[in-house]
Amino acid sequence: MQPKQTIVHLPVYQPGKPIEAVKRELGLKEVIKLASNENPFGCSPKVKEAIEAELSSISLYPDGGSVELTGVIAEHLGVETNQLVFGAGSDEVILMIARAFLVPGDETIMATHTFPQYKHNAEIEGAVCIEVPLKDGTHDLPAMLSKVTERTKIVWICNPNNPTGTINSHQETADFLAGVPANVLVILDEAYCEYDLSGQYPKSLELLEKHKNVVLLRTFSKIYGLASLRIGYGVGHPEVIRSINQVREPFNTSRFAQAAALVAIQDQEFIDFCRKANASGLQYMKEQFARLGLQSFPAHGNFVMVDVQRPAELVFDALLRKGIIVRGGHQLGFPTYLRVTIGSSEQNEKFITALEQVLADTAVQA
């Protein structure tokens, strides 16, 4: 048996350790996971009811076209219903875009380091990935623009960027789009957009009106707190969305995911609460990092990347033994950094206490 040549070098995705496994292996009673940028406040309380109402229909396929949800989100965003496509998480929308648009030999441009699924899916399709280094942890849009050739099919921009949390402003993004040829698709992955309070964030729906080659990616996994249900979506020009829909599996989002997303988007009070709590958590982390003499990238999502000035693996392991799971930068291209999700204030305080102890235990010799 011979798998596709384009996949033989790909690693199998290694998920972070689940809380239960860490508890068992390390004999810990309490474990805090600040590793996957999940919402520490759960999801809207209305979601539970919506899921319960669907239980009697488990044996029936979901609405493949997510018609009701499409209508509600279209109204929420002020776009037409034929501008939306839903996926099992925005992960699946990334997969479908790569499947619909990339053929072997096409070029596709992305930052390094950024969310790995762009490269992963592009490589499966046999595309050539052109990686452009971040500048101060931020997408270097002029450098990315300079890499566009007549073979370029897709440019991926992660805003805020995972793992650094930085953003590109409206003006930077608008200037970039003005220079990109109309036949090159530009994906603006906005998985964390709802958290930004800087006033600098791109008005991406306006950019989409001006540029037919833009697709926005949004998700219900982050501020909406529905990560386990797997639902996200793309917003784009009807022709682009049609192409993505042509490769979509018939029933790719579940009945539960659709029902939950429908009520979650309408409970903006919960979203406001999460946004504010996240902002004060970020502020707390910033102050604590300053107190500990640590630098971090300007954070615009629900996570922050901090330079612990030691091998990240060491600090990651020591925190794990104290019952705190974070992401070690050694796995993300930042060997002395940790990426930490903003938790509840109690979780944030426990993380800082543990970090301070670990840093003292692993003091860097001058």
Ligand X SMILES: Cc1ncc(COP(=O)(O)O)c(C=O)c1O
Cα 346 from Cα 260, distance rounded (Å)? 27
Phi-psi region of 37 (alpha: psi -120 to 50; beta: other; left: phi over 0): left
Answer yes or no whether residue 302 interacts with ligand X by CB under 6 A. no
Nearer to ligand X, 22 or 95 (CB): 95
- Find out whether 111 and 131 touch, Cβ atoms under 8 Å: yes
Q: Is 91 in the site for ligand X (CB under 6 A)?
A: yes
The residue among 220 and 270 lying less far from ligand X, judged by its C-beta, is 220
Out of 70, 121, 168, 219, point to the residue binding ligand X (CB under 6 A).
Answer: 219
Span interacting with ligand X, options 88-96, 251-259, 284-292, 336-344, rule CB under 6 A: 88-96
130 forms beta bridges with 109
Distances (CA, A) of 152 to 6, 130, 155, 168, 182: 19, 9, 8, 21, 11
- Interacting residue with ligand X among 40, 62, 89, 328 (CB under 6 A): 89
Q: Cβ 70 to ligand X, closest distance in Å? A: 17
Give the CA distances from residue 198 to residues 166, 170, 245, 305, in Å, rounded to whole numbers and listed in that order.
Answer: 11, 11, 34, 18
The correct pick among 145, 227, 279, 292 for binding ligand X (CB under 6 A) is: 227
DSSP 313-343: HHHHHHHHHTTEE-EEGGGTT-TTEEEEE--
Q: 159, 69 in Cβ contact below 8 A?
A: no
Instruction: State the nearest-atom distance from the C-beta of 321 to ligand X, in Å.
Output: 25
**Nearer Cβ to ligand X (153/300):** 300
| Least Å from the CB of residue 69 to ligand X | 15
Q: Restricting to residues 112-131, which ones interact with ligand X according to CB under 6 A? A: 115
Q: Longest C-alpha distance within the chain, in Å?
A: 65
Residues 155-174 within binding reach of ligand X (CB under 6 A): 158, 162
Nearer to ligand X, 115 or 256 (CB): 115
Q: Are 324 and 351 in contact (CB under 8 A)?
A: yes
Contacting ligand X within 229-258 (CB under 6 A): 232
Can you give the binding site for ligand X, defined by CB under 6 A?
Answer: 37, 89-91, 115, 158, 162, 189, 191, 219, 221, 227, 232
